[in-house]
Amino acid sequence: MSGVNLHGIWAIYRTEMARTLRTIWQSVATPVITTALYFIVFGGAIGSRMSHVGGVGYGAFIVPGLIMLSLLTQSISNASIGIYFPKFTGTMFEILSAPLNAVEAVIGYVGAAATKSVVIGLIILATATFFTDVRILHPVWMVAFLLLTSLTFSLFGFLIGIWAKNFEQLAIIPSLVITPLTFLGGAFYSIDMLPQPWRTVSLFNPVVYLVSGFRWSFYGLGDVGVGASLGFTAGFMALCLIALAWIFRTGWRLKP
């Protein structure tokens, strides 16, 4: 055997996808039901009393933000559980003893987590079309943002899974950091609607860039430039990769 351990990557990817399929109903039903609820509450009840945002109906306006909300939480939770679980059950020894390098292991785990996120993102998009009129101006960019965000936050989730020493730590970042940032990140409004100084403060929220870029790919309008959105996501991905490289080199939280 030389070159890349393709069988190893595939073994991890396949096992991770099988884990998802075991809980297929939770995996799919939860985001579909949640999305439907958001549309009923925000799109229907509140949105009917709201004016259009930048020429887009409120129901349609929140679609990219809703998808982004799911992508972030799903990517993080899938990838973090994927790598935390072997630590928890002790099966990590096998991953660590295998002829598999860091990149190969990450492709397997993060690839599977990102795949699941993308599928869920697409399911939410499909669900949304039942409730509102969704247009996609830049489909290629839409897919690009979908993939990039899923991958980046799956990487981030992978890091959390390695860092976490217990289930509380596993849950703390998504619930204490990601969810608030997403709600405050313009998923349900344009940050232009905020009074100062909150508008400026929002520009420090990384999720603003993700939602904005994604929304631009749908409707051609965003709170910040699409270049800034891409740059932010790519930069965050690079940070995650650097951290991962360091972890695998030193064995931090993996090897005594």
Name the residue among 247, 243, 79, 102 with its Cα closest to residue 151: 79
- Phi and psi dihedrals of 56, rounded to 5? -115, 140
Count CA atoms within 13 Å of residue 80 on its CB side. 24
Range 3-12, long-range pairs (CB < 8 A, 24+ positions): 4/104, 5/98, 5/99, 5/100, 5/101, 5/104, 8/98, 8/99, 8/100, 8/104, 8/105, 8/108, 9/100, 9/104, 9/107, 9/108, 9/111, 10/108, 11/108, 12/95, 12/105, 12/108, 12/109, 12/112
Query: Token digits for 148?
Result: 């990039």
Q: Is 109 exposed, middle or buried (0-12, 13-18, 19+ CB in 10 A)?
A: buried
* Site for other proteins contains 10 (CB under 8 A): yes
Which residue has tokens 């990769």? 241
* Site for other proteins contains 165 (CB under 8 A): no
Q: Given the complex with other proteins, which of 19 and 199 has the nearer CB atom? A: 19
* Site for other proteins contains 17 (CB under 8 A): no
* Site for other proteins contains 245 (CB under 8 A): no
* Site for other proteins contains 249 (CB under 8 A): no
Binding segment (CB under 8 A) for other proteins, from list 4-12, 112-120, 205-213, 239-247: 4-12
* Site for other proteins contains 11 (CB under 8 A): yes
The 46-85 site mask, x for binding other proteins (CB under 8 A), equals ---------------------------------------x
* Site for other proteins contains 7 (CB under 8 A): yes
Which residue has tokens 């699941």? 116
Name the residue among 248, 229, 223, 62 with its Cα closest to residue 141: 229
Site for other proteins in 99-138 (CB under 8 A): 99-101
Q: Given the complex with other proteins, which of 96 and 201 has the nearer CB atom? A: 96
Query: Token digits for 223?
Result: 């709170």
Q: Given the complex with other proteins, which of 100 and 123 has the nearer CB atom? A: 100
Q: How far is the CB of 247 from other proteins (least distance, A)?
A: 13
The 169-208 site mask, x for binding other proteins (CB under 8 A), equals ----------------------------------------
Q: Given the complex with other proteins, which of 91 and 166 has the nearer CB atom? A: 91
Q: Given the complex with other proteins, which of 135 and 255 has the nearer CB atom? A: 255
Q: How far is the CB of 131 from other proteins (least distance, A)?
A: 35
- Using CB under 8 A, list all residues that contact other proteins: 1-2, 5, 7-8, 10-12, 14-15, 18-19, 22, 85-86, 89-101, 251, 255-256
